[in-house]
Structure 1
């Protein structure tokens, strides 16, 4: 549109220039004819100068127009190149899309062929004789019956195993009870079988035996009360030293080691002739060891070895001293 305007403007200038030329030629003709005056010559000069000025302006405008024209032409060429590049890119993308479409189409066609083959195979399977299908069903039913029989056999075996396990658990509980009883009996350094020494009355023996059996059952508080009651009733008998020792033992088993030491000391001090002296000294040493007093523990172990070298407690004291080195 700008280009057409420029051409129209140029045509108008050319027409104007033609008219100017005509005006130049006419005065010259008049001058040549000898009719021109000095004034006319001056007017003619001014007209010529004016024409030169307009011609210069026209040339400048024409040059500006040409520059503008070539500038727009260059811009159009650049835009054309850009469009060509875009067209090339779009063409490449179109080619890629076309290739991808063809690949997918081929993949779909392949899947369709596979499905068609599967359908044909399924049709062939449906055309098989019904006898073969019946045979397969019978085979499956036979296998199911076999599996059911195996399941029942396994359930019966499991029941038998559960009964055996229950029997073993009952035996184990009984064994645990026996073990606990044995551990209780072994907790004392010497196992005492209550008997009636010479000079011991039946009532005194029964009272002592009842207290000892209570201790064996693990009733420490009950046993202590019964032994204390025994000592109140029979403070100076052959069984009194034993009763005092067992009072100390109830505290030891309860882990009240300080009271145990004091009760053992009573047995040693009040009943020096009792057969529980080695045991009382040994248990005192163990109680001191539990309290962290190794010095007194060593002294008491040595005392047991020196005073009662042939006793069971002396052998145990030697072993304890070896472990304490």
Structure 2
């Protein structure tokens, strides 16, 4: 609109100038061209104004439509919320009314009934309290028993450690005794040759065992027994065959080989050790019944032996 006013002003000034002076033909032509140019600008400005007006009208119409939709949506939400609140209030009123009716019915009952109900509630509360106390006492007793068991387990572990050390000590003593027996065996001059061969065979097998070659030692001890089945060293050889299987954790075969020591050489000095190790093998297999029985037999038959002391400690540990 401002541009239109400026164009009109220019036209007015040009007309005044034309009328107020002596205009030539050239001035008239110039003025005519200027008038045409200004008229063209006016037309262009009018078209732009019309387009802007139409655009503005469309935007206003769209805005009005959007506002109407938003208002309708908001109104629907308010209506829904209002209905929900009304239904909720009605539900609460019904609940309160029902509770009030029940209370009225309860109030109409004789006072004795009310008192009886109250006493029943008190009695049940006391019963629950007593049960709670009993449960607490039981829990405390369980905790004390658990602590006692934990202490026993720790004591048993300490005993087992001591027993393991004792077994190692006994094994070392047995090894020393074996070496001493080999070194001090005396033979008559007539039997010197064969006895020396027997001692060498036994010594070789025993040293093989000491080096950790249990399989090789077992074969050598078996060869020794085939050649010398009834000598002072035969029960020892049979015992070490059982030890070879025990070291390989083949406990079933170890039990059978220890049994041969007990049956074939009942007067031999390896019987207590065979009984003890047989018990250990059964325990390793999880057979506590036979394990306990053999430990007791070791104690009963050889009460003064080192194996009996070890058996006593092991019995206490597996109770």
TM above 0.5, yes or no, is no
Q: Which has the higher contact order (CA 8 A, sep 6+)?
A: 2
Asked which structure has the greater CA Rg, the reply is 1
TM-score band by shorter chain is 0.3 to 0.5
